[in-house]
Homo-oligomer: A and B are copies of this chain.
């Protein structure tokens, strides 16, 4: 009984390793080592050092952005401050700085003539064609309002009157150039529970109050001059203030947490976001309408409509953090080890086909067994069927015996 169990245990605790053929040939040996060297160099240099394949990466960055604009501009004879020109006012990550306002004062609900040229008319029929128009300033009633019977007129609209005339020429507020944007960005990598702010906590209040961001001389200052930001995108206030535009302020966090946390710092870049639409005149620029509502003494609502051309700033935070982790390391190490082994595929091709004595090498590498041989072997020694133990050695022995026996001329 023990012998069976013991046998099984003995069989289990064996060690199986591949039998190898060692080819002592300079040509294939050198090729082999060069191929292995190239593979190792690739893995060490590119996969591990450059691509940091030994790290696990957290791309789910959590970010919070607070902004504050400062500066004064003259527009419509008024001095405008931050409460006047920034939308929305609560310092969000996406905000607009108004550069030009078309103001239509004292609009009351009623009926009046449309202002846009595309709605001029000579008869009511002309206006009926515009029923349901959405590019007008109100609902088209179908009536053509004419100063006199002979002249041309404008279609009548129902809505807030008088209608806005947005074709007036207004000087944009170029003072925007000197406005400053303060950006406070705190991020967190949830996987590693790392929290960082976009300026060092060692930076003093006075330093922050006085500095201005510059990519080389002041890369950690969180205060950005609007004119500078536009310059970095290759734009100027003059070109943007007239029609408005969209500017992206990208804060990129690429953190290698295997190094000291102090190296986990933001990198700013600036792009013009509406660049893909630059060729389309209709979609160029950025504007929106808003109204301020008032009441007359007797309680009638009226409003002042503003069409605001603005520069919109999108503070976009991207980033990832990497840290050593066993799983990617192991998977890539296994890939590396296995790849080194793949070098033999190439060398085998050379060895077994192009080298002098290829057939001899083939003969050494491959040991052939055909069904015929196996059948012959079974027929010859039926007793060996029930024992696995004797193994190849005994079969070789018997082979040697039979050969010597039959070949001997004794």
Contact = CB atoms under 8 A, between A and B. Distances in A.
Nearest to A193: B271
A62 interface: yes
Contacts of A5: none
Interface in A323-361: 326-327, 330-332, 334-335, 337-339, 342, 344-345, 347-348, 351, 356-357, 359-361
Given A59-B60, A81-B137, A139-B79, A190 B318 contact: yes
Contacts of A238: none
Interface stretch (A144-152, A165-173, A228-236, A294-302): A294-302
Interface string A197-237: 10101011100110000000000000000000000000000
A137 to B, nearest CB: 7
A241 B386 CA distance: 85
B88 A90 contact: yes
A47 B327 contact: yes
A391 to B, nearest CB: 4
A368 interface: yes
B339 A134 contact: no
Given A30-B13, A53-B327, A197 B276 contact: yes
Contacts of A26: 10, 13, 371
B338 A334 contact: yes
Contacts of A405: 407
A290 interface: yes
Contacts of A361: 369, 374
A40 to B, nearest CB: 13
A70 B233 CA distance: 31
A106 interface: yes
A24 B33 contact: no
Interface in A29-85: 29-33, 46-47, 51, 53, 59-60, 62, 64, 66, 68, 70-72, 74, 78-79, 81-84
B290 A292 contact: no
Interface string A1-24: 000000000101111111111111
A364 B392 contact: yes
A373 B24 CA distance: 10
Contact of A24 (B196, B345, B368): B368
Q: Which 3 pairs show the lowest CB-CB distances between chains A and B? A: A197-B276, A13-B29, A205-B282
A357 B335 contact: no
A21 B10 contact: no
Contacts of A125: none
A209 to B, nearest CB: 6
A2 to B, nearest CB: 16
